[in-house]
Amino acid sequence: MGWELNLNLNPHLNPHLNHTAMAVKFLITGGAGFIGSNFIRLLLQRYPDGKVINLDKLTYAGNLNNLKDIENDPRYEFLKGDICDEKIVEKACKGVDIILNFAAESHVDRSISGPAVFIKTDMMGTQVLLDAVRKFKIKRFIQVSTDEVYGSIQKGSFKESDNLMPSSPYSASKAAADLLVHAYIATYKVPAIIVRSTNNFGPYQYPEKMIPLFVTNLLQGKKVPVYGDGLNVRDWIYVLDNCEAILHVVENGELGGIYNIGGGNEKRNIDITRVMLRHMGKGEEVIEYVKDRPGHDLRYSLDCDKIHALGWKPRHSFEKALKETIDWYSSHQGWWKPLKEKV
């Protein structure tokens, strides 16, 4: 599905395009979070004459210190607010060309203990944004989703056309949002694209997620909690690769389309743990095997041929990017230590 769009960001289809002369205005929801903050930084690099509005509710995982280095950039503006709040969303949307929705409750364990906030933010918030896209005639809307909406797969890899079979309240809320986006595309011809990424890692990730939790635990002399037998498989992508992939879809993707984004680094949780231990000079005695969580998917795997055909592939090797990530947390203890007190 696709249709014509007045705003042509594709430098191959538009030979006159010059990013340095493009005054595109972006609205990033959830821009104070892990992936959103890295994406904002990338946008400001790629669009010197662009404008970025960051709408974030600043829940526990939203952190303005993630963007301390660009907070005084005249091209950047922060607006505190909830994507479920129609008035604040409409205020943020005025004059905007493109919206990217990174805002989400995203921690599976938290969704198991309290699903309601996930349904509200991830699904109802997306509906508010979609209505604003229609009202303000936004030229492009990118729904940032997850590989978890497909559920677990024993063999092979999920394609974009496969059915959604989420296993947790979190992934169900994201799947519901994806279906809502699809419905708005079909019913209202909303100019939207869905991207589904695998597990991200890198700087500024809240230390409740596996890699930053394990690294910071080891830096504090604590053990690392591995669920079950540690044989669950995830595909890992460095956050900068994921941000570049999402921007590539913004500039080149087909409206109405869905794009899987993966790093091509499928690894068992126990193997990731051992790589981190090796990098940090620790032995396996620091591993603490803990009771598995309910509904824990065994393996996620995405077929990324579609985005590869669009001209994107990851640039960073897993081992090198993981080492750089460990080094970042080692040298930014002032950033994560106050956050660890809340985990």
Q: Percentages helix, strand, coil for the chain, rounded to the nearest 5?
A: 45, 15, 40
Give the start-end residues of each E strand in 187-305. 192-197, 199-201, 224-227, 233-238, 258-261, 266-268, 287-290
Checking if the pLDDT of 57 tops 50, the result is yes
- Residue pair 148/168 in contact (Cβ under 8 Å)? The answer is yes
Mean pLDDT on 6-26: 57
Mean pLDDT on 133-151: 97
How much is the pLDDT for 1?
A: 40
Domain residues of the chain, as ranges? 19-201+237-261, 210-233+265-296+317-338
Mean pLDDT for the chain overall: 92
Largest CA distance in the chain: 59
Of 309, 255, 181, which Cα lies nearest the Cα of 4? 255
Strand (E) or helix (H) holding 25: strand 25-29
Quick one: 210-233+265-296+317-338 is in which CATH superfamily?
UDP-galactose 4-epimerase, domain 1 (3.90.25.10)
Strand (E) or helix (H) holding 108: helix 108-113
How much is the pLDDT for 14?
A: 42
How far is Cα 313 from Cα 305, in angstroms, rounded to an integer? 10
How much is the pLDDT for 293?
A: 80
Same fold for the pair 19-201+237-261 and 210-233+265-296+317-338? no
CB atoms within 10 A of CB 318: 19
Mean pLDDT on 190-199: 98
How far is Cα 122 from Cα 144, in angstroms, rounded to an integer? 10
Residue type, 171: S
Active site residues: 147-148, 170
How much is the pLDDT for 267?
A: 97
How much is the pLDDT for 16?
A: 38
How much is the pLDDT for 118?
A: 86
15 band by pLDDT with thresholds 50, 70 and 90: very low
How far is Cα 135 from Cα 188, in angstroms, rounded to an integer? 11
How much is the pLDDT for 8?
A: 56
How much is the pLDDT for 125?
A: 96
Checking if the pLDDT of 210 tops 70, the result is yes
Checking if the pLDDT of 203 tops 80, the result is yes
- The share of the chain scoring above pLDDT 70, in percent, equals 92
How much is the pLDDT for 10?
A: 54
Mean pLDDT on 261-276: 97
How far is Cα 103 from Cα 124, in angstroms, rounded to an integer? 12
DSSP conformational letter for 228: T
Checking if the pLDDT of 52 tops 90, the result is yes
CATH of domain 19-201+237-261: 3.40.50.720
